[in-house]
Structure formats: C-alpha cells, structure tokens
Structure 1
Amino acid sequence: MNVRRSLLGLTFCTCYLASHLTNKYVLSVLKFTYPTLFQGWQTFIGGLLLHMSWKLGWVELHSSPRSDVLMWLPASALFVGIIYAGSKALSRLAVPVFFILHNVAEVLTCGYQKCVWKEKTSLSKICSALFLLAAAGCLPFQDSQFDPDGYFWALIHIFCVGSYRILRKSRKPTVLSDIDQQYLNYIFSMVLLAFASHPTGDLFGALDFPFLYFYRFHGSCCASGVLGFFLMLSTVRLRSILAPGQCAAWILCAKVFTSEGHSPVPFSLFHVACWHVSLTCCQDNKGVFTMSVD
C-alpha cells in the first residue's frame, strides 16, 4: 500500500511539474496572452476527456439534483476567476514567485475559520500563517523583475482560491463528489470563457498571434489540456486516498520541484521557508489546486 501511495504521489508531482511548465512555456515564452481562449481550451479538453472517461467507465459521474447544481454555481464562478487570474499572473511572474503568492490563500482560509467559524486554531498555525503573509509581503522588494500587473492579478487569484476553498468547505456534506464538482467547473468555465472571448478582445486579437500556425504552439496547447486533465485526476485520487496532511505534503513537494529550477537564490530561500509554513497551514485542509493555473 505504501508503494502504491508513493507511486500516486510521484505521478501527481510529474503531472504538476509538466502541466505548469507547459503553461508557463505557452504564456511566457510563446507569449500567448489570451486567457479566455487558453483557459477555455483547457477546460474544453478537460471536460471532453472527463466525459469520455465516464462513458468508458473509468470514473463515476452522478446525476445530481438541480438544487445542488445551482448551489455549486458560485463555486464554479470562483473557479473561472482562479484560472483566468492565475493565467494572467503566471504569464507575468516567475514560477516561484507565483507559487509563494498562491500559498497566501491559506492565510485567508485560516483567518476565515478563526474569525467567522470560530474554530480553535493553534498558536503555531497562526504564527505560521503570519510568517507566510510576511514572506509574501517581502517579495516585491526582492523581485528584480517586479511587475505591478502580475502582482495585481496574483491578488485576484489569491482571493478566488481562498474564497473557493471556504465555499467548498461550507457546502459539505453534499451529494456532489470531487469529480462531479470538477465536471460542473469545466462546463461552466468553458461556456463563460467562450462568451467572454469577444468582449475581452481575445477572439480577434489571437488572429495576430505570430505562432498561430506553428506546430510547437499547437502541440503545447494540446499538451496543456491533456496534462491539466491528468493533474486534476491525480489530485482527486490523492485527496481520496491520503490524509489531508499527507496530501498537502505531496502538493508542496510538487511546488518545490517545479519552482526550484527557476529560482535564483533569494527566491529559493523564500520558497523553502514558505514550503514549511504552508505545510503547517495546510495540514488540516484538503485544499484545491487547478490548472493554473488550483
């Protein structure tokens, strides 16, 4: 059983690494900065593969009451905010910077549980959350490539991630499984982003993209959709088998592996510190991580 869990964790780390590096390549190297199209494509591929997997009997999708589906729509709207703002932020920020800022969402979750739900919170967890917030606050002063727009979109991403986690926890118990929730997220995101592509100017702006007819662009976009789908499946499987603390440890290991190759020394130190702090904050939460994408 330990070997099986280790293989699952390594599979998750591999998908996490490949998915985020592919996204970063499309967004920053190829500079395809049209998030409604890029994220709309990813959610379309994810929804299509998930539907095919259901038809083949590989996953289970349940017929849910309309009331539960409607109650989940605010969470789906936050999911759109997560992937849209995350795409904008990742296109402008270095990978380790993005991950450190992403971890601040745990501070929002911890603060909401303490102040609104009146949950008992250990002093070590509160101190860890404050240290994580302080570390993220120091980033603009250490970032030699400081981009105000990147940090602005990162703040929106943080708010959406924290709100999504809070809303997700407040809706428990529910008949919607993790797969059901993700399927609804895919459908809602695909439809909303498709309609938003014209008002945002992405639809016609992409026609001037210099690599529009290059195979490396097509291959990268296809890989991003497929890898995002497998990342979602491995995340769901990880949460269903492992305890929340073990799941958080694998997630943070994946972040470290993904970001260390891009980290200059100051950001490496920041990231190692935030890795330890975030593990303390996350150990009582399942968390949610998307295509960046969680």
Structure 2
Amino acid sequence: MTDVQLEMSDLTWVIYHVREAPILRPSSVMKVLNNDEIDLEGGKVEKDRDKIVRNNRLVKIHNQALLSGLAYCFSSCSMILVNKFVLSSYDFNAGISLMVYQNLVSVVIVSVLSFLGIISTEPLTWRLIQVWLPVNVIFVGMLVTSMFSLKYINVAMVTVLKNVTNVITALGEMYLFKKHHDSRVWTALFLMIISAISGGITDLSFHAVGYTWQVINCFLTASYSLTLRRVMDTAKQVTKSGNLNEFSMVLLNNILSLPLGVLLIFVFNEVDYLSKTPLLILPTFWLVMTLSGFLGLAISFTSMWFLHQTGATTYSLVGSLNKIPLSVAGILLFKVPTSLENSASILFGLIAGVFFAKAKMH
C-alpha cells in the first residue's frame, strides 16, 4: 500500500474510535484526572476493542492484497495460455486478426464502463492522438511480434527469452536516462542472457522463425517501455484534466491500434486466409477468441488493482515468480518435448528473473 493509503486507513480507524468511544461524564473525567478511581475493567475492554479493530483492519488489507495478486496471476497466465491455444491447437494463422479482435473487445468494454460512469477516461483529442501515435505504433508491433513468436515457440521458452527485454531496457535506461545499476542488477542480467542462450541451444522444438520474432519482440517491448516514459509527460499536458490514468491509456492504445491492425491484416494477406478458414464458423472458436479479449483487458484491471493494494516492489517480484507456474503449465498442457538440459536452462532463467526483481528493489 502507498503512504497515502496507509494514512487514509489510519484516519478511518481514528474516526471509527471517535464515533464508537463511550462518552465520559464530567464526574468520570474528574475522577480519572485526579487518579481517585480507575476503571480497570473498562480499560481492558477498550484495549481489547482496539486490538480487534486493528486485527480486522490488517486481515482486510491482507485479503485485498492476496485476492488482487491471485487475480493478476490468473489473468496474466491465462491470457498467454489461451493465445497459445488459439494459435497452436486451433492452428490459427492470423495472429494480427486475433490481436485486432482482442483490442476491439477491450475498446467496447472500456467504453461501456466509461459511459456508465464506473471508470473515468480522458476524451480523445487530435493533439493527444498525435502525441501518442509513436508509442502506439511500437505497441502494435510488440503485440504482433508476440503473436508470431508464440505460434512457433513453447510458452516456457517465450517466458525465458522475454528476459532479454530486461537487458535491453537496462541498457536503454543507462544511455537515455543516465540511470546506473548496481552489480547485483548486472549479474542478474548476465544470468538471464546465459539462460536464454543455453535454453535456445537445448530447445528440442527450436524454430528459427519463432526465435527471430521473439528477439524483435524483445526490442519492441523495451522500446515501448522507454518511449512511454518520454511521451507520458507530454501526453498529460495535452489532456483536458492534465492527467492520463491507466484506463485512458488502455482505451487510447486499443483504439489507435485498430486502424493500424486492419492495415497490417492486408499487408500480411490475412484476408485471404480468413476467407478460407473453417474456424470462423465454429462458435467455440469465437468463444475462446472473446475470452482472450476479456483476459487481455483483465490483465490491465488486475495489475492496477494489485499495484494499488501492494506496491511496485511486490508487484515486480510477484510478476517474476508468476513465470514459474506459467512455464510449467505451458509444458504440461501443450505436451512440449523437453530434456533435462532444457528444463534446467528454463529454471535457471526463471530464477534469474526473480533475482533481477529483488536486485531492482534495492
């Protein structure tokens, strides 16, 4: 929790006690002040009440943090596994179309929630679109390359190879923002590189095309993170409220991605494939596709909820730990052929990711 949240919680606790505390008569007050008579039983009851309220407050906080963390882990793991299922098990060869449909689902849901007043979003202005467009181009490239790589590479190896993004981001922070990292961070990054290389060498289902797309994805993901930091301040200045919350960014990214995604559908000639595939007449296929769209949006909501209930350090560490069950599930669910060496490389990479998150905390 943030300091502001803790202060608000303490304030609520104080108000509760002011309202619930027994009103002392003047005579009782004088007796207490003069130390002539002290009600030990009353003091015990008050202390017990204080203890119960504090315990209830802590349980509530812990329950919220646990629930939000589980929701975030479930949605993020499910999203990747469902995408893998659509692209591999259904053998769907239109990853860009899948991305466009998922983003369309997100736009519809966020727009409805905004219209009902459940969430607040910034109105889209031409000036805001101009400022945000470079970020969105990278965002679309990041999603598209992720779809392409996931079709050819198993989930566990995708998870390990994504660690390369951290290396590129750290180098970018050093050169663009003059940010220096300590030896623990660089050690973790070195271990990530070793695990990625050893994992690729020992990967029994190695696919050169998939690995190429994943490397491109790592560069685009790092570029998105670094560019977002530069554009964020400018984007806030051109909004009407002077702020740009997460819901507004989700809506902005997904709306702007639709025309660019449709253009890429024609560039990669997915229209011809979509007109011939029998998958589009299967209700179950559309159900799974729609589920993936809901999960994509759920990641945004649950990550904000979890970050709000805990903090950046816990969020980062849980995100790294979350890759371990995701990798195991990916191997078991899709019956990925693996060896002892490859499994060891994957585990080594996942541990390096956890070590990196802990190093960044310091």
* Both structures adopt the same fold (TM-score exceeding 0.5): yes
Counting matched residue pairs gives 286
Per the alignment, residue 27 of structure 1 pairs with: 87
Pick aligned residue for 1:81 from 124, 135, 141? 141
More helix by percentage: 2
Per the alignment, residue 243 of structure 1 pairs with: 311
Pick aligned residue for 2:119 from 51, 59, 68? 59
Which whole-Å deviations, capped at 9, do the CAs of 1:49-101 have from their partners, x for residues lacking one? 11111112222102366444322211111110111000000011000011111
After TM superposition, the structure 1 stretch with the greater mean CA deviation from structure 2, 129-138 or 205-214, is: 205-214
Tell me how far apart the structure 1 counterparts of residues 306 and 128 of structure 2 sit (CA, whole Å).
Answer: 25
Match of 1:106, as an amino acid? N
Structure 1 regions of 5+ residues with no counterpart? 287-294
After TM superposition, the structure 1 stretch with the greater mean CA deviation from structure 2, 188-197 or 148-157, is: 188-197
Per the alignment, residue 37 of structure 1 pairs with: 97
Say whether the 8 Å CA contact 1:246–1:283 is kept in structure 2: no
Whether 1:209 aligns to 2:269 is no
Tell me how far apart the structure 1 counterparts of residues 354 and 199 of structure 2 sit (CA, whole Å).
Answer: 19
Match of 2:133, as an amino acid? L
Which whole-Å deviations, capped at 9, do the CAs of 1:124-168 have from their partners, x for residues lacking one? 101111111121122221111110000011011111100011112
Per the alignment, residue 169 of structure 2 pairs with: 109
Pick aligned residue for 1:221 from 250, 267, 289? 289
Pick aligned residue for 1:121 from 181, 184, 192? 181
Structure 2 regions of 5+ residues with no counterpart? 1-60, 237-242, 332-337
Say whether the 8 Å CA contact 1:244–1:284 is kept in structure 2: no
Tell me how far apart the structure 1 counterparts of residues 228 and 359 of structure 2 sit (CA, whole Å).
Answer: 14
Change beyond 3 A, Cα 1:180–1:282: farther
Tell me how far apart the structure 1 counterparts of residues 249 and 355 of structure 2 sit (CA, whole Å).
Answer: 27
Per the alignment, residue 271 of structure 1 pairs with: 346
Per the alignment, residue 292 of structure 1 pairs with: none
Change beyond 3 A, Cα 1:40–1:172: closer
The percentage of counterpart residues that share the same residue type is 19
Change beyond 3 A, Cα 1:280–1:63: farther
Tell me how far apart the structure 1 counterparts of residues 358 and 138 of structure 2 sit (CA, whole Å).
Answer: 23
Change beyond 3 A, Cα 1:80–1:161: same
Q: Cα distance, 1:9 vs. partner? A: 0.5
Q: Which structure has the greater CA radius of gyration?
A: 2
TM-score (norm 2): 0.74
